[in-house]
Structure 1
Amino acid sequence: MYTNGASLEFKNIEEKLNHAIKRGIAYLDSHQLANGEFILYMSDDDAMQEWNLPDSTIFPAALIGTCLLSLRGEEKVENILMKAAYFLHYQMDRAGTWNHYTILHRWRKLCPQDLDDTACVSYFLKKMGFDIPTKSNQQLAIDNRRSDGLFYTWITFRWRFNKNLHYWYLAARELKHFLKSLIFWHTHQCTRYDVDAVVNANILHYMEKRKETEAIIPYLVNIIKTEREGDCDTWYRNEFTVYYFICRNMNNGFTELNTIKNEIIDRILEKQNPDGSFGVSVLDTALGVSSLIYSGYKGIEIEKGIKHIIETQHEYGNWDRWAFYYGGPKKLSCFGSEELTTGFCLEALANFKNLYKSE
C-alpha cells in the first residue's frame, strides 16, 4: 500500500480506529444544538485558550456535515446530518444564497451574502438530496465575477453593470442600513472587491468544471507554484486549510490540478513532526492527512498522522479547538470549536479507513 517505508498492520489499529470514530460521532451527536446548529467560538489566539466568545454562524454545520458524508449509514450520523441539513435549509435566503450569520444574529443585516457559505452549504444540501434553487444561485455566482473570470467573495454593490435581478435585490439591502453598512466595510478587514483563493476553490467544488469556472484552476495552480498559500485568502490564513480545499477538488476529478500535486505533498510532509502530527495542532494534522489522501498519496506518514489523531482524542470523544479561519489578514480574531476540529478529525479517520478498504 505504501510508497515510503513499511506499513504498520491495519489490523493492529482497526479496533482503535473504529472506537475513535464511534466516540467522535457520539460527541457531535450530543453537542449539536436542538435546531441543528453547531457552536463556534471567536477568540484572539490560535489555540483559543484566552477569551472565547460563542457565535451563531452558518458555516460549522455545512463544514461538519460535509466531513461526515463519508460516514453515512450509521444511525447517529444520519441524525446529525439531517438536523444540520434542515437547519441550513431554513437559513436559505433569496435565490438560494446564505449569509455567514444566522437569521437571529445581530450582524446578519449588515453582513452581505457571500459565495463561500453559499457554495459550501449548497454542496452539502445537494448531497443530502434537498431541493434548492441551484440554477439561480449558480447564475448569481456567475454574474458575481471579476473581469478575469474569478469570483468575488461578497454579493454586494459594486460600480459595474450587472443584469442579474437577484444581485440587485441583495445588493440593495445595504440601503436599509446605509450608515451602518459603511461602518461595516470601514471597520472589517475586507472590501467589496475581495477575491479569495479558498472561496474560489469552494465554488469550483460546488459548481464543478464548466466554462464559467475555468479561470479558477490556473489561479489555484499559480498560488501553489509561487508559494503564496499562506497569503492568498483574506479569511483562511493557514497553509493546511488551503491545501485541504484544493486537494478536495483533486479528489473530485480536476486532473488539471495534478500539476501542483507533488508540491503540495512535499510541503505537507516537510511539516510532519516526530510524533506523527503535522503542523502545530491536531486540526493541522487532520487537514494534512485528508489532503494527502485526496491528492492520491499513500505513504506511511499518513498512518503516523492517524495514530496521532487517535492518541489525542479526549475522553468525551472530541479533539481540541483550534483556529480554522480568521477575521482578516491581521489575525485580530479567529474562529473555531471542538466540534469543528472533531468533524475534520472524523473525516481524516474515515478517509484512512476507506483508503484501506480500496486496496
Structure 2
Amino acid sequence: MDRLNQIALSRLNQVEQAVLRGIDYLYQHQYPNGEFCCYRALDRRMQEQCTPDSVAAPTAIVANTLLGLNDHPKVSAVLVRAVSFLDYQMMRGGACNYYALRNPLFPLCPPDVDSTVHVGALFDALNVDYPRADMRSLLLLNQGNNGALYTWLMLRPRPTLNRLYWRTGLRIVKRPFDSLLFWKKQGYRRTDVGKVINANALYYLGLSEATQPILDYLVKLVHTKQEPASDSWYRSPITFYYALGRLIDKGVRQLENVRPVVLERLLSHQQPDGLFGESPLETAQALSALIYWQGNPMVIERTATVLLAQQAKQGEWSRTVLLGREPGKTAGWGSEELTTGFCLEALTSYRNWLKKRDTGKLSYTPIA
C-alpha cells in the first residue's frame, strides 16, 4: 500500500509541477493590456505565413480554461487583466466581436455568438457586471428554424421590436461595399451555423425551454454522424466532443444517452503513440472529454502521460490552429497560449480525477 501511495503522490507531483510551469508561461506572456497573443496562418501547424493578429475571442477562451485554477495568485492576476481587456472590447448590449477594436477588420465583421458566449461565461463565473439580460436576448433572437443559433449576430427576417437587435444588425450597413468584400475574401456566410459554437452557446445559456432546441440539434448531429463534417469555425471533431463533455460536466444529463457513441468516436482519433488528432491541443481536449464522459481509466492515464511529455521547457505546449475554416484556403488562428490554456484545463481535471480515484470516489461505468 505504501508503494502505491508513493506512486500516486509522485504522479500528482508531476502534474502539479507541469501546471505551475504552464501558469508561469501564461503569466509571463500575457500582454500588458490583458490580451493573449494569437497567430493567423494558412496551415494547421501554423508555419505558413504565420503572423500575429489582434483578436479578442482567444483571450476569452484562454481565460475560461483557467477558471479551475483561479485560487492561484498568478492565475487570478491573469484573469483580472483579461476581464479588463474584454470589458473594453464589449459592444452595446453585450455583443462581442471576434476581432479586437484595434484590428482594421473590426468595423467590417459583425459580432458573433461564439465570442459573445465565451465572454459571457467568463464574466458570469467571475461575477463581473455586464448587460447579461440584453446579451441573452440577442443570442436567442439569432435562432434559426431548426433551433440552432446562427454564427453571426446579424439582421434576420424575423419580427421583433428589440432595439439592440436592430442596432447590432444594422452596424455593417455603414460600410456595405467593404463589408461585401470582407465576406467574400474571408469565406464566411451569413447562414453559417457552428456545431461547437452551439454547444458553447448552450453551455452559457443553460438548458431551458428556449434552449432545448439547441440541445436537440446537437444530439441529432451525433445520431446522424454529422459532427465530423465541416464546422463553420472549429475544424476538429475532437473539439465537438470536448464541447459536449463540458455540457455533461455542467449537468446536462440528457446527453448521457450518446455517451457510448461519443466515446467510441473519440477513441477513433487516438494515434498509436497515444496522441489524439494531430496536436497537443486536440490531445488536451480529448483528455478533458474522456474525464467528462467517464472514459476508460487506462486511456485517461495514457493520454495524460502523452500530454505531460509534450510540454516544452518554458512551460508551454506547441501552437496549432483552433479557430478558422478550411486550412490552406482561409486563415486559421492559434497560439502557444491557446494550446497551453487547454492543456492546463485538462491537467487540472486530471489532477482532480486522480484524487477521486485515490480516495475511492471515482465513478466509472464500462461501455457494454
User: How does the TM-score come out when normalised to structure 2?
Assistant: 0.92
1:198 CA drift (Å):
1.3
Amino acid at match of 1:189: G
Q: What do the CA deviations read for 1:155-180 (whole angstroms, capped 9, x no partner)?
A: 11334433221011111112210111
Question: Per-residue displacement from partner, 1:130-183 (whole Å, max 9, x unpaired)?
Answer: 001111110111112112322111111334433221011111112210111122
**Residue type of the partner of 2:123?**
L
Aligned to 2:233: 235
2:51 is the counterpart of 1:53: yes
Which residue number in structure 1 is paired with residue 109 of structure 2? 111
- The equivalent residue for 2:41 is 43
Q: Distance in 1 between matches of 2:165 and 2:327?
A: 27
Q: Is the 8 A contact 1:234 1:329 kept in 2?
A: no
Tell me if 1:320 matches 2:324: no
User: What letter matches 1:259 in structure 2?
Assistant: N
8 Å Cα contact 2:57/2:97 also seen in 1: no
Distance 1:235 1:328 in 2: 9
Quick one: which of 340, 350, 353 aligns to 1:352?
A: 350
Provide the residue aligned with 2:138 in structure 1.
Answer: 140
**In structure 2, distance between residues paired with 1:274 and 1:29:** 34
CA contact (8 A) 1:221 1:259 kept: no
Please give the alpha-carbon distance, in whole angstroms, between the structure 1 residues aligned to 2:235 and 2:156. Answer: 26
> Deviation at 1:318?
0.4
Percent identity for Structure 1 against Structure 2: 37
Q: Give unpaired runs (5+ residues) of structure 2.
A: 362-368
- Aligned residues, how many? 354
Q: Give the secondary structure class of the aligned counterpart of 2:52.
A: strand
| Cα distance change, pair 117–208 in 1 and its aligned pair in 2 (3 A) | same
* Deviates further, 145-154 or 334-343: 145-154
Higher alpha-carbon deviation: 184-193 or 253-262: 184-193
Are the structure 2 counterparts of residues 73 and 11 from structure 1 closer, same or farther at C-alpha, using a change threshold of 3 Å?
same
Structure 2 Cα separation of the partners of residues 291 and 331 of structure 1? 29
Q: What's the CA shift for 1:232?
A: 5.0
Unaligned ranges ≥5, structure 1 = 1-5
Moved more, 310-319 or 327-336: 327-336
Contact 1:85 1:128 in 2 (8 A): no
Look up the match of 2:184. 186
In the TM superposition, residue 102 of structure 1 has moved relative to its aligned partner by: 0.9
C-alpha distance in structure 2 between counterparts of 1:152 and 1:131, whole Å:
26
1:212 corresponds in structure 2 to 210
| Structure 2 counterparts to residues 1-359 of structure 1, below 5 A | 9-231=7-229, 233-328=231-326, 331-358=329-356, 359=361
1:331 is displaced (CA, Å) by 5.0
Greater mean alpha carbon deviation, residues 277-286 or residues 8-17: 8-17
How large is the Cα RMSD of the aligned pairs? Answer: 1.8
Distance 1:265 1:143 in 2: 33
Q: 1:268 to 1:188 in 2, by over 3 A?
A: same
Contact 1:247–1:291 (CA under 8 A) maintained in structure 2: yes
Asked whether the 8 Å contact 1:190–1:328 carries over to 2, the reply is no
The 1-side partners of 2:8 and 2:173 are apart by 60
Question: Counterpart amino acid of 1:344?
Answer: F
Indicate the SS of the match to 1:158. coil
Aligned residues of 1:278 and 1:288 also touching (Cα < 8 A): yes
